[in-house]
Amino acid sequence: MHTLTVAQLMQGLRDKQFSSTEVTQCLLQRIGELDAQYNSFITVDADRALAQARAADQRLEQGQTTPLTGIPVAHKDIFCTEGVRTSCGSRMLDNFAPPYDATVIKQFHDAGAVVLGKTNMDEFAMGSSNESSFYGAVRNPWDTGRVPGGSSGGSAAAVAACLAPAATGTDTGGSIRQPAALCGITGLKPTYGRVSRLGMIAFASSLDQGGPMARSAEDCALLLNAMAGHDPLDSTSAEAPVPNYTEHLGDSLEGLRVGLPREYFSEGLDAATGECIQTALKELEARGATLVDVSLPHTQLTVPTYYIIAPAEASTNLSRFDGVRYGHRCDDPKDLHDLYTRTREEGFGDEVKRRILVGTYALSAGYYDAYYKKAQQVRRLIKQDFTQCFDEVDILAGPTTPGPAFGLGEKSDDPVSMYLEDIYTLAVNLAGLPAMSVPAGFVGGLPVGLQLIGRHFDESRLLNVAHQYQQHTDWHLQRPDSAAGGSN
Amino acid sequence: MAWETVIGLEVHLQLATRSKIFSGSATNFGAAPNTQANAVDLAMPGMLPVLNEQAVAFAVKFGLGIGAEIGKRSVFDRKNYFYPDLPKGYQISQFEAPIVGRGVFEITLSDGSTRDIGITRAHLEEDAGKSLHEDFHGLSGIDLNRAGTPLLEIVSEPDIRNAEEAVAYLKALHSLVTYLGISDGNMAEGSMRCDINISLRPQGTETLGTRAEIKNVNSFRFVEKAIQHEFDRQADILDDGGTVVQETRLYDAERDETRPMRSKEVANDYRYFPEPDLLPVVIDDAYIENLRKDLPELPVQKRQRFTEAYGLSTYDAGVLADSRALADYFEAVTKRCGDAKIAANWVQVELLGQLNKSELSIGDSPVSADKLGGLIERILDNSISGKIAKQVFEAMWQGEGSADEIIEARGLKQVSDSGELEALVDEVIASSAAQVQQYLEADEGKRKKLVGYFVGQVMKLSKGQANPKMVNELLAKKLV
Amino acid sequence: MAIDRNEIEKIAELARIRIADGQMDDVTERITEILQMVDQLQAVDTGSIEPMANPLDAVQRLRPDVVTEVDRREAFQAIAPAVEDGLYLVPKVID
């Protein structure tokens, strides 16, 4: 039961093959049995999940179903959940149970989903390895000595290990796609503004975007149907109409023009990973697509651009954590200054502090023009690269990451080399584009992800390509050995 | 040395919206602490701002009111600093692209002369909460009800030269914004707060001296006193050959002094940058024209019309046009009685006098414009004298009814019957032989004074109800 | 751009983050590495390119001026570290 996709679970629940309570119980049990080796969950509220499952079963019984009635999902611990701890992977919010739900949480609730729990993540979503969590590193189900990627590493590991059929994630510079790639699952980062950011704890406001992580493109489409839409309480939320994302899954790829950004296949890309991607591209060709050589000339600049803009926005987004209204507060502050500086010293981890400091520096008097303004200008150049490509092609394709999952601790002492891991994913956020990572093979037993990038609001096309690819490959059906045990 | 004062004012005006600038919380004054602070106002994690359309419309109206350039693409920025009354750790404000650009504002001084004060800009921003310093075991209490209340910060050029001009500017601004209906202008509740930038320079020179900024001065009187005090302080320093330090000071009304603000000792670096949770505010000509079309007549225009159409003096027109409510009242009185000058006089002297004494605003006046107009009608048709009219007004103030009702009930109708008056005049002449003698011996000039005695006696006999004009005529006939 | 300990201290003060003495060198070194990496941007000629703050170049929607919120002070203050009489308590604020 635990290996079923969302689509299969929906069918099974409708056909009364099993109840939501049974599915939920099975998954809760698996989490209890197996998650010690992954550390993918921060909070599991079994009672609440089962209560929701029972309520869903009643609705199923009465025929009052909504699209995801009774489907268990896990939420990244960045989405505020009313009355349930929402830590954002930080000591700062270890004691924080918000009195409200994020819009995304409400949407899943309205769609009938059951919440299994809250997944582990890099602290405040800052990281590419999930090692910066206050709750400890998450381990990759394919090799527990390796990282699952980040920052949505808990969600990726939980889905890969079949502890949840699907999960939410957020992607500021690759935080859905990179862990999806490293854990061998399918993840979609929607167009900026497609999914509401209300109640999603902000890292970098102009880059953050929530999205689905699942074991198939079809499941991502089903989840996105629930998540997408205009939110009047988020000024940056897009008003563009929301299509039914499953509608075009079956379309043929005949005539599809796929651009291959030459910069994504150059030095820095692990050779074996590159081969997996080439094989995947041949498969697209076999399905009728035409491959076109294109260029994103400013690719090298995406890392420095991102690592100014994201920390700058983060540095002020995180100013609200001051020990006054919620969250951690240091003991016995001797004055106001002490309250602020000690609360923030204790509440934030090293990587978060580093980014706050870099961002503060980039915005400070005398440096603003040289750093922040310059980065926002280069950002426009990066977006224009994509606009030009999309005059010629329908989607872009390439690797999600330069190589497969690296070892725990391997890069944690070297922030810059960790940042370079994001070279293929950052530009998408800077340009606000939708993109996916789709399992496309293995290198040394570790999954490799194929990245697909689309035009603004063209998620349907990405899902269509990914689905067609998955109809003719079985990489997404592979399961890690470590997840073989446990209840099923 | 003779010093010239150079003053620029930054006015923080609370806009009269129902809800906050970025959230749906109420903006009522005086609510229990933190009961009007929702998740957005409290900067709870994940909360986002959405801009209130009324705040934008109010700001644009202000810009139109001073003939300023309207920013068709204005941008919100984050102003970053830590303070417990600032929950996000940044204030959402406008820095590089404000919604209102340059404008000019005319003020009238007490001698009737006018001056143009340049407006540099006006921008939208959110208010902060309040720190309460009552002792909570050595701690301060934070109330965030006010956090997120929309403010329009109006920045003037350093065109103001003394306290009188500063106060005139503030009063004119107050008058304008209440006319526009964009603020209640209630200074006691902090709806209009003022930061004063002040520096001195030798009379006749052009270079600006080092300025001090005096924060949060909340009444016209305090503005005057703070400027006076700060002038003295800076002049003393400069006269002694010292230099003024650029700093932020606080006006302490109790001690009537300014002192440095400790919290502002460390120069801040606000790290302004475009607020990524909000997008540029783009407004088009149609939007602006729509608001322009609905602008009310403004104080300057009204003042001019009052002098031209009603023949009022500049001073009278200025007083009456000062607030929209007072101007409307005056015009209603005039409409009823048909005589603008007498109406102006009654509104300014009797009505405002009573209102001030009772600490009431024009809106709370127990005597309606219609009633006052009715009273003046009775003066104009000689039913009562001006003196009796004051009695009637008193009675109207006490709620005894309309002028006619009071005149009727109290039998105050003026005696204009010539037979009746003649008897009274004869009686006075008969009993005032000495005065008659004196009068007859006096020259023309003195007679004018002396006749007053006889008029007074007749009025006394008639209990004030004799028609004074007719009494004068009768006396002139009889005293020969 | 090289950054020294002094500047790190200034930034840390702006950001209200205490850095223990023992960690100062390490923090300075890491930040320096990051700044060296981002300094690649200095070589780009960005001339008069308009900075891009929002990836969709969208414009602000306006909200009707309606009170939509009710008093939830109790819920909000239940998760606050220190409150009294409905107020959030902090060490003495000095103007």
The alpha-carbon gap from B154 to the nearest alpha carbon of chain A, in Å, equals: 24
CB distance from C89 to chain B under 8 Å? yes
Phi, psi of B397 (to 5 degrees): -60, -35
* Structure-token pair, residue A175: 């935080």
Q: Which residues of A touch B47 (CB under 8 A)?
A: 198-199
What do you get for the CA distance between the two ends of chain A, in Å?
Answer: 5
The stretch B42-68 carries a mean pLDDT of: 97
CB distance from C7 to chain A under 8 Å? yes
Flag whether A473 is in a domain.
yes
pLDDT value for B264? 66
How many CB pairs (< 8 A) connect A and B?
93
Does the beta-carbon distance from B279 to A372 stay under 8 Å?
no
Domains of chain B: 3-290 (no CATH), 297-410 (no CATH), 418-478 (1.10.10)
Closest CB from B43, B46, B142 relative to A198:
B46
CA angle A34, A37, A39 (to 5 degrees): 95
Amino acid at B306: F
How many Å is the maximal CA-CA distance in chain C?
A: 57
Does the beta-carbon distance from C92 to B133 stay under 8 Å?
yes
Closest CB from B18, B55, B80 relative to C66:
B18
Alpha helices in B240-296 (DSSP H): 285-293
Residues B400/B405/B410/B415 CA torsion (nearest 10 deg): 140
Closest CB from A207, A336, A383 relative to C90:
A336
Does the beta-carbon distance from B273 to A368 stay under 8 Å?
yes
**3-class state of residue A401 by DSSP:** coil
- List chain C domain ranges: 5-42
pLDDT value for B291? 97
Flag whether A319 is in a domain.
no
CB distance from A233 to chain B under 8 Å? yes
Does the beta-carbon distance from B277 to A202 stay under 8 Å?
yes
Is B28 exposed, middle or buried (CB count within 10 Å of its CB: 0-12, 13-18, 19+)? Answer: exposed
pLDDT value for B172? 93
CATH of the domain at A229: 3.90.1300.10
The alpha-carbon gap from A372 to the nearest alpha carbon of chain B, in Å, equals: 9
Candidates A132, A151, A152, A437; catalytic one? A151
pLDDT value for B263? 67
Flag whether A422 is in a domain.
no
The length of chain B, given as a count of residues: 480
Cα–Cα distance measured from residue A246 to residue A466, given in angstroms and rounded to the nearest whole number: 12
pLDDT value for C1? 56
Concerning whether A374 is annotated as a catalytic residue, the answer is no
Please name every residue paired with B156 in a beta bridge, in sequence order, or none if there are none: B119
Closest CB from A207, A304, A329 relative to C41:
A304
B257: pLDDT confidence band, cut at 50, 70 and 90? Answer: confident
Flag whether A424 is in a domain.
no
The chain-wide mean pLDDT, for chain B, equals 92
* Percent with pLDDT over 90 in chain B: 71
Concerning whether A76 is annotated as a catalytic residue, the answer is yes
Gyration radius of chain B's alpha carbons: 30
The chain-wide mean pLDDT, for chain C, equals 93
The stretch B171-197 carries a mean pLDDT of: 94
The stretch B289-293 carries a mean pLDDT of: 97
Candidates A175, A196, A216, A315; catalytic one? A175
Cα–Cα distance measured from residue A354 to residue A361, given in angstroms and rounded to the nearest whole number: 11
In the block, residue with structure tokens 């635990």: A2
Phi, psi of A455 (to 5 degrees): -70, 165
Pick the residue from chain A with its C-alpha nearest to B86. Answer: A320
CA A186 to chain centre: 10
Does the beta-carbon distance from B35 to C86 stay under 8 Å?
yes
Flag whether A73 is in a domain.
yes
Mind giving me the DSSP string for A464-488?
A: HHHHHHHHS--GGG---GGGSSS--
Candidates A19, A20, A40, A76; catalytic one? A76
Does the beta-carbon distance from B143 to C87 stay under 8 Å?
yes
Number of folded domains that form chain A: 1
How many Å is the maximal CA-CA distance in chain B?
A: 97
pTM, rounded to two decimals: 0.92
Long-range (24+ apart) CB contacts under 8 A made by B315-322 are: B315/B112, B316/B344, B316/B348, B318/B108, B319/B348, B319/B352, B320/B344, B320/B347, B320/B348, B321/B175, B322/B171, B322/B175
Amino acid at B199: S
Residue pLDDT, tens place only, B342-384: 999 999 999 999 999 999 989 999 999 999 999 999 999 888 8
B100: pLDDT confidence band, cut at 50, 70 and 90? Answer: very high
Closest CB from B84, B271, B277 relative to A236:
B277
Q: Which other chains touch chain C, taking contact as 3+ CB pairs less than 8 Å apart?
A: A, B
Question: Chain B 129-148, CB below 8 Å of chain A: which residues?
Answer: 142
The CB density around residue A211, as the number of other CB atoms within 10 Å, is 30
Does the beta-carbon distance from B26 to C69 stay under 8 Å?
yes
Q: Which residues of chain A fall short of a pLDDT of 50?
A: none
Pick the residue from chain C with its C-alpha nearest to B35. Answer: C71
Is A124 exposed, middle or buried (CB count within 10 Å of its CB: 0-12, 13-18, 19+)? Answer: buried
Phi, psi of A68 (to 5 degrees): -110, 25
Long-range (24+ apart) CB contacts under 8 A made by B129-132 are: B129/B37, B129/B85, B129/B86, B129/B87, B130/B85, B131/B84, B131/B85, B131/C90, B131/C93, B132/B33, B132/C87
pLDDT value for A237? 97
Flag whether A392 is in a domain.
no
Pick the residue from chain C with its C-alpha nearest to B49. Answer: C63
Q: Which residues of C touch B32 (CB under 8 A)?
A: 73, 86
User: Residue A24 sits in which domain range?
Assistant: 6-252+437-483
Flag whether A397 is in a domain.
no
User: Which of A320, A338, A357 to substitute to test the interface with B, most B CBs within 10 Å?
Assistant: A320
In the block, residue with structure tokens 């220190």: C82
pLDDT at B155 over 70: yes
Flag whether A465 is in a domain.
yes
Is A63 exposed, middle or buried (CB count within 10 Å of its CB: 0-12, 13-18, 19+)? Answer: exposed
Residue pLDDT, tens place only, B376-412: 999 998 888 888 899 999 999 999 999 999 988 888 8
